[in-house]
Amino acid sequence: MAGAKKKAPGMKIKKGDKVVVIAGKDKGREGTVISAHPDKHAVLVQGVNLIRKNTKVNYQGQRGAKEGGIVTQEAMIHVSNVALVDPDTKGPAKAGFRIDEAENKKVRVSRASGKDV
């Protein structure tokens, strides 16, 4: 069991959530989570943490035109630097859980207002 990998702990932020950045260069900006990576503790948020990346010419387009150059795209942001948007106050809020007795399922709720997220 020396080389056994541990299971990554779950995150309370999922794909499709509306989040606000609470730390870093994009503090205060809101966006939707494009993808979540629990193993890296990182999320990809639409329109936040934009970087400019040089891409190599690896495809020849129509009429032999080479396509490559500088592309602007989103980069990963650590999950501790984002927070869910509260449905009531539209501000940052922590996420909690409650058990729904009728369906016996775990439901995410906003800790500030108690509303479902």
Whether the model pTM is above 0.85: no
Torsion angle, alpha carbons of 94, 96, 102, 104, to 10: 140
Would you state the pLDDT for residue 42?
A: 95
Would you state the pLDDT for residue 68?
A: 77
Q: What is the mean pLDDT of each run of 10 residues along the chain (117 residues)?
A: 66 92 94 94 95 83 73 93 90 88 87 84
Across the chain, where does the E strand assignment appear?
Answer: 18-21, 30-37, 42-45, 50-60, 66-74, 77-78, 82-85, 92-93, 95-100, 105-110
For the chain, the domains span 18-56+69-110
Torsion angle, alpha carbons of 41, 45, 51, 53, to 10: 80
Distance CA 45, CA 30 (A): 8
At the topology level, CATH places domain 18-56+69-110 in SH3 type barrels. (2.30.30)
